[in-house]
A and B are shown apart, each in its own frame.
Chain A
Amino acid sequence: MIKIVNLHARIGDKEILKGLNLTVKAGEVHAIMGPNGAGKSTLASVLAGREDYEVTEGSVEFEGKDLLDMATDVRAKEGIFLAFQYPVEIPGVSTTNFLKTAVNEVRTHQGKDPLDAVSFLGTMKEKMKIVNIDQSLLSRSLNEGFSGGEKKRNEIFQMAMLDPKLCILDETDSGLDIDALRIVANGVNTLRSKNNAFIIVTHYQRLLDYIIPDFVHVLYNGQIVKSGTKELALELEEKGYDFIKNEVNAVKL
């Protein structure tokens, strides 16, 4: 589904990704773990198309197309979804109105008919159940005054509405209590299928108790330095990131 080769990216003068390689196939869930500052969120932002980052080298192929060549909205229309670590609050825009615009722009791009008000509402009702989100929340201004848990549930709800191929979750577990974490993870598990794929960026192993990954990668200093299965996450939890750092630095020496 996505093939990232030798990806280098920087913000300003600071190089953050330094030759990252990753391939994700349909039906897979990949967890990206790593210490603070390793480049985890940068990877998520670069894939989604945040303009602050400049890709200096490497390629990203998404469903056979050059992802880096696409505008932010086109990436989303082609099936990339980023669940934000810090969802933006937008006063004056209700989730419902904004999502209707988004869903219909995406559908039009994919050659489908736009949804009318009735079918949109029907789809909404159905998807709301996935993350147990309330209608009244969705008619309020987008994320404004939402609790941390409500914001993250809203992200997963939007994911369900847009039905993407590749979902990138950027530290979705940060700031969530255990109940909210369960709801969010449960939502993700419901949406998992053999046709889509997930990249789950997280600092802690905790989320991976609920969303079981097929692969776990450790990102350190702008590169993936170690890959394994879910046991690697447990090992990291036990030993901390220092063991990876030591390992990498030992190789360098």
Chain B
Amino acid sequence: MEFSELVENEYNIISQTEGENGFRKKAYQQFLTSGIPTTKHEEWKYTDFNKVLKNDYIINHSDLKKEDISQFLFPEMDVNLIVLVNGFVSPALSEIKKQKGLEIKNIQEVEKEINQDIVSSANPFLFLNAALSTNGIYLNILDNTIAEKPIYILNICDKKNNSVLAQPKNYIKIGRNAQVKIIEAYYCIGTNNSFTNVYTEVHAAENSVSELYKLQIGDNTSSLVDSTNVYQSEKSTFTCTTITLNGNIIRNNLNLILNGEYCEGNMNGLYMLNGNTLVDNHSSVDHAVPNCLSNELYKGILDEKSTGVFNGKIFVRKDAQKTNAYQSNKNLLISDDAVVNTKPQLEIWANDVKCSHGATIGKLDKDMLFYLEARGISKKSARAILMNAFAHDVIDRISLAPLKDYLNIFILNRLGLNFLN
């Protein structure tokens, strides 16, 4: 089935079961107008999903067992676990412990109450998600609530029997003075293709403190578009950390909208790629009001024939005086075939601001390699040690120790190092 046909069929089925839904209809029409962007589109210059979408996808439920997903859990971390398989919430696999002030639901139950902002985004994949998504997580951390356990949203594509299209949608509301840490992970099982198109909207109220971790560890037949819009109110602190370690084509759209004064928005990223993986990190931070701080650090290690794309936009509006905005993108090219395209894009209309940006693309440092080799460390290990060190400062910013350990071990294993035992 052609992708457009699949979308049309799916839209018709949903419309019939759910009845009239203006929001969905509008999104569908917008998607029909925009289509899937090609590389002629400036924002999609290096990243073409058209070939990925040629596969024969099906939108279907799958019954995974607990033992199928145990490999994706963190045994040392007590979490509120929500599992989505092929984009659908699986109550059987999820484990939610009740806490006062914490609401976790399938977004289906509350869809009428929320009004997601997708129109202004001009992102065709958001239109597609809004047209076809029926499931996902609604997370509400009420005012003055501190979520006791991290929330772990585990997304799995089960592509054992067929290629899978998944379109979850998450809505996260963080109340005043509330605090929460959320992990979103994307894994897959099976050798067919998968395409996940997820949209997450975060509203961080006054004085809230929140951390969102994205863990993207697919395989060479799984593709992902992960769009996240974050709306921050006064004095809120929000940190997003995106770690991409595997996949076919991955596009992240992370947008922070700083709507209240004295906000802090942090964006950290690590992409460590090999094979033919392409990862495109598009981020933007919109300083709409004065006295906010944004801080962005993305680091990439690109080996074999992998490709990295970084586009970081910083907008500082006319009224947003006393803005501090920092951006840094550093890349390490390990092989001669790896490619990176990096583009900082700052648009500043205010005059009393502190903004900095830097983008670097380099190879492993010769002096450092010599130093390690002169101590008896083989060239291969020396290179691995330096790659691990390069990734270190992003991993170090992770506040959840079990997650940090997991990533450290994952990276050391990939590099064939064994410091830890």
Contact = CB atoms under 8 A, between A and B. Distances in A.
Interface of A: 48-51, 71-73, 75-77, 81-82, 84, 87-88, 90-93, 97-103, 105-106, 109, 117, 141, 158, 162
Contacts of A82: 374
Nearest to A89: B368
The 8 A-B pairs with the shortest beta carbon distances in the complex, nearest first, are A92-B389, A92-B392, A76-B376, A72-B373, A106-B376, A102-B375, A88-B371, A97-B419
Interface in B358-395: 365-368, 370-379, 381-382, 385-386, 388-393
Contacts of A51: 366, 370
> How large, as a class, is the contact surface on chain B?
20 to 34
A236 to B, nearest CB: 29
B17 interface: no
5 contacts: A82-B374, A84-B371, A92-B390, A93-B386, A105-B376
Given A101-B417, A162-B376, 7 more contacts: A75-B374, A84-B371, A90-B389, A98-B385, A105-B376, A106-B376, A158-B375
Contacts of A91: 389, 392-393
Most A-side CB within 10 Å, residue of B370, B381, B391: B370
B371 to A, nearest CB: 4
A102 B377 contact: yes
A96 B391 CA distance: 18
A101 B383 CA distance: 13
B378 A105 contact: yes
Contacts of A158: 375
Given A84-B371, A91-B393, A93-B389, A100 B419 contact: yes
A73 B389 contact: no
A105 B377 CA distance: 6
B421 interface: yes
Interface string B280-301: 0000000000000000000000
A33 B367 CA distance: 25
A135 B206 CA distance: 43
A117 to B, nearest CB: 7
B377 A101 contact: yes
Interface string B27-60: 0000000000000000000000000000000000
A76 B374 CA distance: 6
A238 B113 CA distance: 90
Contact of A73 (B367, B377, B392): B377
Nearest to B372: A98
B223 to A, nearest CB: 31
Nearest to B379: A73
Given A90-B389, A101-B377, A72 B370 contact: yes
Nearest to A52: B366
Contacts of A71: 373, 379
Nearest to A141: B389
A158 B376 CA distance: 11
A143 B321 CA distance: 40
Given A90-B368, A93-B385, A117-B421, A73 B373 contact: yes
Contacts of B381: 101, 105
Given A88-B368, A105-B381, A49 B373 contact: yes
Nearest to B393: A92
Nearest to B387: A92
A162 B390 contact: no
A142 to B, nearest CB: 8
B374 A72 contact: yes
Contacts of A73: 373-379, 382
Interface string B189-214: 00000000000000000000000000
Nearest to A50: B370
Contacts of B388: 92-93
Contact of A49 (B374, B377, B385, B386): B374
Most B-side CB within 10 Å, residue of A77, A102, A106: A102
A91 B370 CA distance: 15
A76 B379 CA distance: 12
Contacts of A102: 372, 375-377
Most A-side CB within 10 Å, residue of B375, B381, B385, B417: B375
A122 B96 CA distance: 46
Contacts of A105: 376-378, 381
B377 A90 contact: no
Most A-side CB within 10 Å, residue of B370, B371, B385, B391: B371
Contacts of A49: 373-374
A49 B378 CA distance: 13
A73 B383 CA distance: 13
A240 B191 CA distance: 75
A51 B369 CA distance: 11
Most A-side CB within 10 Å, residue of B374, B378, B381, B391: B374
